[in-house]
């Protein structure tokens, strides 16, 4: 029924359809002018449906807080106008596909403003411009493998959230190409290696979180990194930095009592050894002297 509404641009139907299945009927793909689709917090089971690929004018897609399974389909890159993609809090699996890195609006430098109609009362309607950030949110899923190096192609991103997955490998250096990035959350994965020093060139970065990984080495110094607290790095025992208890290049000195004990032990051993040596020497002298006297 809604599909026959040719002029429909915004469809927000979240918090409905409790524990039903995501529809897979291709007939649903008749929303010719739909720009904003939000079907979150339902939670719907099933996979990301193919009919979404037919929404040629779609700009914002929210499928978060459902129970969707399977992988991110390769056709995702055909959504050439999508600049806000939130599929967080599902049970999606597999590696992060490079098809995401080919989404045109995540790669371009064009700023986007979506006009969302707001109804403050029954008798009044007005339009207010909401500046949705250029966003990719894949958090709280079951993604595995390494973060693709191609992530550096998404130069228009303002927010990138890959937290609470099972990602491995190192933080890819090309992330420093995301010069408009304001939010970067890679927390609660299994990432290893060092934090690339080049990330301190992200001058607009306001939120940074790599907590609860297995990172090591010094935390980059300078730029926005001087503004991040220790909570951004918690749960990485091998990291060091001025904002952490473990500062780089400093070895923990043993407690003073241990040093004192060791020094005392050395002194006692020296006294015992010297006394024994002295006693043997005196005894030897007495024996030799008695022989000469005798």
Residue-level pLDDT at 267: 42
Q: Kindly tell me if the per-residue pLDDT of 218 is higher than 90.
A: yes
Q: What is the pTM of this model?
A: 0.81
Q: DSSP string of 106-126?
A: HHS-----EEEEEEEETTEEE
User: What is the pLDDT at residue 154?
Assistant: 95
Residue 196 falls inside a structural domain: no
Residue 95, domain extent: 2-190
- Rounded mean pLDDT of 70-89? 96
Reply yes or no on whether the pLDDT at 282 is more than 70: no
d(Cα 118, Cα 105) in Å, to the nearest integer?
A: 25
Please report the pLDDT score of residue 252 as a whole number. 38
Q: Is the pLDDT of residue 262 over 70?
A: no
Establish if 152 belongs to a structural domain: yes
CATH number at residue 43: 3.80.10.10
Q: Tell me how far apart the alpha carbons of residues 230 and 215 are, in angstroms, rounded to a whole number.
A: 14
What is the mean predicted confidence (pLDDT) over 257-284? Answer: 39
Q: Name the band, by pLDDT with cuts 50, 70 and 90, for residue 132.
A: confident
Residue 166 has pLDDT above 60, yes or no: yes
pLDDT of residue 292: 29
* Pair (38, 177) in one structural domain: yes
Q: Within this chain, do residues 179 and 293 fall inside the same structural domain, yes or no?
A: no
Q: What is the mean pLDDT of the chain?
A: 82
Is residue 201 over pLDDT 80? yes
Domain boundary among 154, 172, 190: 190
75 & 158 share domain: yes
- Whether 50 and 178 map to the same domain: the answer is yes
Instruction: Quote the Cα angle for 37-40-42, to 5°.
Output: 130
Structural domains of the chain, count: 2
Within a domain: 202: no
Task: Output the CA–CA distances (angstroms, integers) from residue 116 to 36, 67, 126, 143, 208, in the order listed.
Answer: 9, 27, 9, 32, 29
160 closest CA partner among 152, 265, 145: 152
- Same structural domain for residues 21 and 127? yes
């Amino acid at each position: 029924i809604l599909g026959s509404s040719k002029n429909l641009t915004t469809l927000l139907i979240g918090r409905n359809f409790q524990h039903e299945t995501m529809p897979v009927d291709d007939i649903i793909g008749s929303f010719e002018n739909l720009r904003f689709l939000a079907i979150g917090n339902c939670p719907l089971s099933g996979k990301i449906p193919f009919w979404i690929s037919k929404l040629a004018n779609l700009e914002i897609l929210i499928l978060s807080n459902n129970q969707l399974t399977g992988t991110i389909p390769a056709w995702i890159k055909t959504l050439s106008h999508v600049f806000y993609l939130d599929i967080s809090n599902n049970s999606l699996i597999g590696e992060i596909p490079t098809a995401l890195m080919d989404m045109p609006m995540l790669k371009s430098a064009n700023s986007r403003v979506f006009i969302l109609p707001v109804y403050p009362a029954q008798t009044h309607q007005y339009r207010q411009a909401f500046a949705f950030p250029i966003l990719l949110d894949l958090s709280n899923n079951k993604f595995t493998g390494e973060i693709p190096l191609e992530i550096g192609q998404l130069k228009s991103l303002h927010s990138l959230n890959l937290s609470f997955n099972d990602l491995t490998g190192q933080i890819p250096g090309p992330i420093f190409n995301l010069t408009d990035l304001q939010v970067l959350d890679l927390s609660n994965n299994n990432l290893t290696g060092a934090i690339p020093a080049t990330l301190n060139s992200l001058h607009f970065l306001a939120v940074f979180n790599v907590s609860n990984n297995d990172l090591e080495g010094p935390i980059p110094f300078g730029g926005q990194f001087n503004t991040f607290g220790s909570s951004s790095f918690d749960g990485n025992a091998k990291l060091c930095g001025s904002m952490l208890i473990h500062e780089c290049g400093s070895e923990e000195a043993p407690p003073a009592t241990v040093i004192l004990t060791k020094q005392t032990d050395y002194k006692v051993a020296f006294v015992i050894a010297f006394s024994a040596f002295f006693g043997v020497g005196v005894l030897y002298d007495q024996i030799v002297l008695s022989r000469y006297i005798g």
